[in-house]
């Protein structure tokens, strides 16, 4: 213990990083292969199905692309949004809660605003979602700058408050509860009216949802915002050192509150789009993007293009793991999650090893 | 300093990875649409003709929990599906496609259906109530696939049905066993731990069936219902049974909840009980009388056979399936040694009446058992079906309430039932 300690490697080498990732993934998939083989399943077949997200031999292969995009869009937007706040060293782990309040607000609009054309209804839903989520994030930021509260704790706890709120709405059969399906004796969430459900561009059978296009536009927008605007520069300065920012005459509190509002509002947008695309809400509407997004943002090293690529890869991994399990009755989704966990964990370990190295204490002293 | 920050971050994001993953795998069990637990089946109680499999027939299933569970609602259905597949000549290892741990979330159910449809499934079973809207929608999108939904109320006339069973009949039989016990112990108070009360017709009809069964033997029996407001929570189930025994002096404990806790408490306190879903004699050897149980393979075999033979006539042949003792879909577990000697005879008489269809539980005719073991007789008395508030639901001698009431709108307790909380 005394002799060795961790030292950050000098200089970032993309090549080294990729090699480490490759080694990590190979080891984890090897472990997975042993597990699969021990369960009497051909690992090559299984991985083949996993990496092609079950499209080979599928009667409706395009549906799998649609399904993949549906889980990708919220993950992508949420990861970008979380990356924005992390860049400022503001530990927003409240993606789940911000997503849920956004989805609830979008549903309030969807169930109560009728008779408007579809684009307008969906626009209103998204605005409601962005405002509610944004204000929630703003409140956290306000408490942080005003009373120096711990944003990690506050956002974490808000996640559970929002989760219980939506659970309450989904389980309470009362006359006032417009969220529920009026036709069902048991409480279940109702379906949005047709005008609140998102459509897309038809390419043959394939339906390209508008939310995908919005997400791509958002990547470009955030990239420009961070790289070429004053706001973007301010965020990175505050992230490096709040004291420096203050010394340079920046209004740190204002920057923190503004950025948190934008970050949470983006998560709200993701929620609004997701709710509209599924035509209803549920307790599991987030698909855990608030958590997964944290991993994606850090794996992408808070760089916009890298986050975009990482979220695509993670979405494929998630979707593929679930899909592969379907074919094998003895493999349940717990195994799929386990495999996904092993792969993700080894990538994180690879990342760590690529960044740090063990050095003897004497060497370090020299 | 920077090094330290980076180190903390790496740890933080490793932790968050674990967090997100554990988040993925933990679907709340409370969303389970119903509480049916491991069904004890006597192998192939309803044999279906052994036919050779169609060229390629694939079965799809959407589960609320995992197929690898060892007890519980999903376990019971998975057992039913695999047994039925063997009966109709299909190989569960090859012909069964499963999407498990699917929460009651339209989007996730739809994705599961798309996957199963893409993999070429010919029939798709969804076992949880909240899958209803997604299945209804997708049935229109995939007209060539049969959709079959447990516990629901929706259907169409081509390829979408719902299925459930007359578990109240099995509960009536268990009630008879409880009634005899209450006579023998000279204690008219019978307890019942229930997931829900009058909110759900499923629990409500179960309580009423059990009460009518008990009162067919002991007309003075009082049934005290304790509602725990969740489909399954072992601690709450335990506490409810304790309250019923200690405060309400109940001598027999019936139940409609997931675990065997109410029976275990009865065993500890030296009283008796009737379980649910599986034969709970092993858990409560000195207390358990018999349990109301499911045998889902009875339905699954019928449905698969019909879909394999001619899918276009599925709705006319199978349709919305709501069967009971007659089809072997529900039953009581073998009577334990704790039962009174008259129990077996009385249960046989009542069961025969229900199987033949000459009599049913919620009608204007009540059974009244008398006589010693070996010479038990049942008198059929015209007697109105009344609620515990005295309101008449079926006139004396009248026909049973409709299935729509039993499955959907029954929201009253019959005479002799009191909810204590």
pLDDT tens per residue, range A297-310: 999 999 999 999 99
In the block, residue with structure tokens 């969804």: B126
CB nearest B25 (choices: A63, A285, A337): A337
- The shortest C-alpha distance from B339 to chain A (Å) reads 36
Residue B222 falls inside a structural domain: yes
B176 and B234 housed in the same domain? yes
Closest CA to A88 of A257, A248, A229: A257
DSSP B118-181: HTT-SEEEE-SGGGHHHHHHHHHH-TTSEEEEET-----SSSEEEEEE-HHHHHHHHHHHHHHH
Question: Do B342 and B306 sit in the same domain of this protein?
Answer: no
Give the per-residue pLDDT at A185. 78
User: Would you state the structure tokens that stand for residue A193, as one six-digit string?
Assistant: 């009216």
3-state helix, strand, coil in chain A (%, to 5): 70, 5, 25
Domain contains B314? yes
Please give the pLDDT value at position A2. 63
Nearest CA to B42 out of B332, B257, B237, B258 is that of B332
Q: Please, which residues 107-136 of chain B have a Cβ atom closer than 8 Å to chain A?
A: 107-108, 110-111, 114-120, 129-130, 132-133
The owner of tokens 């090897």 is: A30
pLDDT in tens, B214-239: 999 999 999 999 999 888 788 999 99
Asked if A298 and A24 touch (Cβ cutoff 8 Å), the reply is: no
pLDDT for A187 equals 86
CB contact under 8 A, A330 and B23: no
At residue A5, the pLDDT reads 85
Residue of B nearest to A190 (CA): B133
Based on the number of CB atoms within 10 Å of its own CB, is B372 exposed (0-12), middle (13-18) or buried (19 or more)?
exposed
Q: In the prediction, which pLDDT does A205 show?
A: 87
* Strands B321-323 vs B160-165: parallel, antiparallel or unpaired: parallel
What is the C-alpha separation between B125 and B314, in angstroms, rounded? 14
Q: In this structure, what are the phi and psi dihedrals at residue A203, rounded to the nearest 5 degrees?
A: -120, 95
Residue B68 forms contact with A (CB below 8 Å): yes
Considering only CB atoms, B119 lies closest to which of A6, A58, A291, namely A58
Angle between helices B106-118 and A61-87 (to 10 degrees): 140
Residue B199 has what pLDDT?
Answer: 85
Residues from chain A that touch B153, judged by Cβ atoms under 8 A, are: 184-185
Q: Which residues contact B340 (CB under 8 A, 6 or more apart)?
A: B177, B180, B181, B183, B184
Contact B168, B283 (CB under 8 A): no
Query: Which of A41, A71, A186 is the best substitution to test chain B (most B C-beta atoms within 10 A)?
Result: A186
Q: How far is B31 from chain A (nearest CA, A)?
A: 10
Please answer yes or no on whether B17 and A345 come within 8 Å at the CB atom: yes
pLDDT of the residue at B16: 46
Same domain? For B74 and B86 the reply is: yes
Q: Are residues B347 and B360 in the same domain?
A: yes
Q: In this complex, which of B16, B117, B408 lies closest to A294 when CB atoms are compared?
A: B16
Residue B71 domain-assigned (yes or no): yes
**List of chain A residues whose C-beta atoms are within 8 Å of the C-beta of residue B129:** 186, 188
Whether B62 and B158 share a structural domain: yes
Tell me which residues of chain B, numbers 177 to 216, contact chain A at a CB-CB cutoff of 8 Å.
Answer: 199-201
Choose one of B305, B327, B349: the last residue of a domain.
B327
Looking at residue B55, what is its pLDDT?
Answer: 63
The SS3 call for residue B5 is helix
Q: Looking at the predicted structure, is the pLDDT value of residue B2 above 80?
A: no
Question: For residue A73, what are the contacts with CB-CB under 8 A and spacing of at least 6?
Answer: A209, A211, A212, A214, A215, A270, A273, A274, A277
User: Which range marks the domain in which residue B60 is found?
Assistant: 32-164+295-327
Q: What is the pTM of this model?
A: 0.84
Q: Closest partner residue to B68 among A294, A332, A340, by Cβ?
A: A332
Average pLDDT of the segment spanning B165-175 = 96
- Residue B338 is predicted with a pLDDT of 96
Which residues in B lie closer than 8 A to residue A54 (C-beta atoms)? 115, 118-119
pLDDT higher than threshold 90 for residue B11: no
Q: Cβ neighbours of residue A253 under 8 Å, at least 6 residues apart?
A: A145, A146
Other beta carbons within 10 angstroms of residue A301's beta carbon come to 14
pLDDT of B49 strictly over 50: no
Q: Is residue B243 part of a domain?
A: yes
The answer to whether B33 and B64 are in contact (CB under 8 A) is yes
Residue A354, pLDDT score: 87
Task: Check residue B291 and give its pLDDT.
Answer: 94
Do B280 and B365 fall within a single domain?
A: yes
B353–chain A nearest CA distance, Å: 31
Instruction: Give the model's confidence band at B53: pLDDT under 50 very low, under 70 low, under 90 confident, else very high.
Output: very low
Say if residue B173 is in the same domain as residue B211: yes
B362 domain residue, yes or no: yes
Which candidate from B7, B104, B133 shows the least CB-CB separation from A6?
Answer: B7
CA distances from A193 to A113, A115, A121 (A): 9, 10, 10
Q: Quick one: closest CA in B to A240, which residue?
A: B2
**Residues of B numbered 16-55 whose beta carbons fall under 8 angstroms of chain A's beta carbons: which are they?**
16-21, 23-25, 27-28, 31, 33
B9 and A CB contact within 8 Å = yes
Could you say which of A8, A279, A322 has the minimum Cβ distance to residue B3?
Answer: A8
Residues of B in contact with A344 (CB under 8 A): 17, 21
Question: CA–CA separation, A58 vs A62, rounded Å?
Answer: 9
pLDDT at B1 over 50: no
Contact of B276 with B257, CB cutoff 8 Å:
yes
Query: What's the whole-number mean pLDDT along residues A51-75?
Result: 93
B189/B225 same-domain check: yes
Same domain, yes or no: B181 and B146: no
| Residue B24 belongs to a domain | no
Please say whether the beta carbons of B274 and B289 come within 8 A. Answer: yes
Which pLDDT score, from 0 to 100, does residue B36 have? 41
* Minimal-distance CA residue of chain A relative to B58: A327
Residue B126: band (very low, low, confident or very high) from pLDDT cuts 50, 70, 90: very high
Q: Which residues of B touch A341 (CB under 8 A)?
A: 17-18, 21
Q: Cα separations (Å) of B287 from A153, A295, B157, B400? A: 49, 52, 47, 33
Confirm whether B11 is domain-assigned: no
Q: Does residue A362 register a pLDDT over 80? A: no
Least confident among A80-84, B23-27, B182-186: B23-27
**Is residue B54 very low, low, confident or very high in pLDDT (cuts 50, 70, 90)?**
very low
Domain match, B120 and B237 both: no
In total, how many domains does chain B have? 2
Contacts with A24 from chain B: Cβ below 8 Å:
none
B23 contacts in chain A (CB < 8 Å): 288, 291
pLDDT at B200 (0 to 100): 87
Asked whether the predicted pLDDT for residue B161 surpasses 80, the reply is yes
Q: What is the mean pLDDT of residues B305-324?
A: 94
Res. B38: pLDDT tops 90: no
What is the pLDDT, as a whole number, of residue B26? 37
CB A342 within 8 A of CB A28: yes
Task: State whether A327 and B116 contact (CB < 8 Å).
Answer: no
The CATH number for B409's domain is: 3.40.50.2300
**pLDDT tens digits for range A330-342:** 999 999 999 999 9
Q: Which of B10, B130, B133 sits opposite A352 (nearest CB)?
A: B10
- pLDDT of B9 > 50? The answer is no
B154 and B185 in a single domain? The answer is no
How confident is the model over A147-182, as pLDDT tens digits? 999 999 999 999 999 999 999 999 888 899 999 999
pLDDT digits (tens, 9 = 90+) for B350-370: 999 999 999 999 999 999 999
Task: Kindly determine whether residue A329 and residue B97, on different chains, have CB atoms separated by under 8 Å.
Answer: yes
Q: Is B10 part of a structural domain of the chain?
A: no
Residues of A in contact with B98 (CB under 8 A): 325-326, 329, 332
Contact B100 A333 (CB under 8 A): yes
> With 50 as the cut, is the pLDDT of residue B401 above it?
yes
Strands (E), A191-339: 200-203, 206-209
Where a domain ends, among B327, B349, B377? B327
Scanning every residue of chain B, which has its alpha carbon at the shortest distance from the alpha carbon of A282?
B105
Confidence (pLDDT) at A1 = 52
Contact A341 B119 (CB under 8 A): no
Report chain A's C-alpha Rg in angstroms: 22
**Distance (Å, rounded) from C-alpha B37 to C-alpha B195?**
13
Residue A122: left if φ>0, alpha if ψ -120 to 50, beta else—which one?
alpha
B314 plus B352 within the same structural domain: no
- List, edge to edge, every strand of the sheet that includes B146-150: B96-99, B59-62, B123-126, B146-150, B160-165, B321-323
- From the list A274, A291, A355, the residue facing B6 with the nearest CB is A355
């Amino acid at each position: 213990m005394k002799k060795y300690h961790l030292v950050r490697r000098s200089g970032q080498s993309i090549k080294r990083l990729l090699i480490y990732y490759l080694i990590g993934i190979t080891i984890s998939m090897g472990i997975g292969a042993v597990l699969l083989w021990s369960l009497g399943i051909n690992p090559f077949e299984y991985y083949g199905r996993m990496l092609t997200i079950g499209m080979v031999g599928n009667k409706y292969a395009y549906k799998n692309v649609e399904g993949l995009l549906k889980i990708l869009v919220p993950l992508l937007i949420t990861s970008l949004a979380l990356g924005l706040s992390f860049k400022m060293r503001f530990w927003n782990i409240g993606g789940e809660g911000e997503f849920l309040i956004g989805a609830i607000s979008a549903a309030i609009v969807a169930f109560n605003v009728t008779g408007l054309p579809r684009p307008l209804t969906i626009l209103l839903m998204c605005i409601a979602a962005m405002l509610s989520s944004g204000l929630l994030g703003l409140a956290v930021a306000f408490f942080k700058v005003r009373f120096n509260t711990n944003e990690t704790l506050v956002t974490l706890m808000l996640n559970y408050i929002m989760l219980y709120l939506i659970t309450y709405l989904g389980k309470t059969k009362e006359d006032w509860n417009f969220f529920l399906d009026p036709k069902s004796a048991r409480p279940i969430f109702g379906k949005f009216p047709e005008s609140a459900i998102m459509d897309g561009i038809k390419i043959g059978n394939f339906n390209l949802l508008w939310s995908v296009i919005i997400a791509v536009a958002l990547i470009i927008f955030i990239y420009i915002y961070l790289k070429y605007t004053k706001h973007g520069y301010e965020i990175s300065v505050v992230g490096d050192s709040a004291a420096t920012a203050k010394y340079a005459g920046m209004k740190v509190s204002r920057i923190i509150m503004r950025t948190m509002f934008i970050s949470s509002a983006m998560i709200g947008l993701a929620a609004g789009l997701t709710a509209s695309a599924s035509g209803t809400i549920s307790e599991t509407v987030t698909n855990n993007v608030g958590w997964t997004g944290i991993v994606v943002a850090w794996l992408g090293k808070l760089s916009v293009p890298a986050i975009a690529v990482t979220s695509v890869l993670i979405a494929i991994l998630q979707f593929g793991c679930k899909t592969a399990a379907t074919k094998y009755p003895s493999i349940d989704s717990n195994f799929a999650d386990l495999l996904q966990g092993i792969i993700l964990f080894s990538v994180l370990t690879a990342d760590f090893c690529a960044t740090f190295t063990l050095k003897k204490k004497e060497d370090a002293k020299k | 300093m920077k090094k330290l920050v980076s180190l903390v971050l790496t740890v933080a994001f490793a932790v968050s990875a674990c967090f997100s993953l554990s988040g993925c795998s933990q679907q709340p069990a409370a969303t389970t649409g119903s509480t049916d637990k491991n069904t004890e089946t006597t192998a192939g109680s309803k044999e279906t003709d052994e036919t050779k499999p169609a060229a390629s027939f694939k079965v799809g299933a959407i589960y609320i929990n995992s197929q690898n569970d060892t007890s519980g609602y999903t376990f019971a259905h998975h057992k039913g599906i695999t047994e039925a597949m063997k009966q109709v000549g299909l190989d569960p290892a090859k012909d069964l496609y499963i999407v498990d741990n699917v929460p009651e979330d339209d989007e996730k159910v739809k994705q599961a259906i798309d996957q199963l449809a893409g993999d070429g499934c010919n029939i798709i079973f969804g076992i949880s109530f909240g899958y209803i809207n997604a299945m209804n929608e997708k049935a229109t999108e995939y007209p060539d696939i049969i959709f079959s939904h447990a516990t629901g109320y929706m259907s169409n006339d081509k390829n979408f049905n719902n299925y459930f069973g007359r578990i109240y009949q099995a509960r009536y039989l268990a009630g008879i066993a409880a009634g005899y016990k209450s006579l023998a112990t000279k204690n008219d108070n019978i307890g019942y731990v229930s997931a829900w009360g009058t909110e759900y017709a499923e629990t409500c009809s179960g309580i009423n069936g059990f009460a009518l069964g008990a009162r067919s033997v002991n007309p003075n029996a009082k049934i005290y219902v304790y509602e725990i407001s969740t489909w399954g929570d072992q601690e709450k189930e335990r506490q409810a049974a304790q309250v019923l025994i200690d405060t309400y002096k109940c001598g027999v404990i019936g139940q409609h909840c997931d675990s065997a806790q109410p029976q275990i408490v009865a065993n500890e306190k030296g009283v008796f009980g009737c379980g649910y879903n599986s034969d709970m004699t092993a858990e409560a050897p000195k207390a358990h009388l018999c349990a109301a149980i499911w045998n889902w393979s009875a339905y699954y075999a019928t449905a698969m056979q019909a879909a394999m033979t001619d899918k276009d006539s599925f709705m006319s042949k199978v349709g919305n399936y709501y069967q009971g003792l007659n089809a072997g879909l529900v039953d009581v577990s073998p009577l334990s040694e704790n039962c009174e000697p008259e129990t077996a005879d009385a249960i046989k008489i009542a069961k025969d009446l229900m199987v033949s269809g000459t009599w049913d539980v919620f009608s204007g005719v009540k059974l009244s058992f008398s006589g010693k073991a070996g010479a038990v007789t049942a008198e059929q008395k015209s007697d109105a079906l009344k609620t515990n508030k005295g309101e008449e639901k079926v006139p004396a001698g009248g026909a049973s309430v409709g299935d729509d009431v039993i499955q959907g709108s029954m929201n009253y307790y019959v005479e002799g039932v009191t909810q204590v909380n």
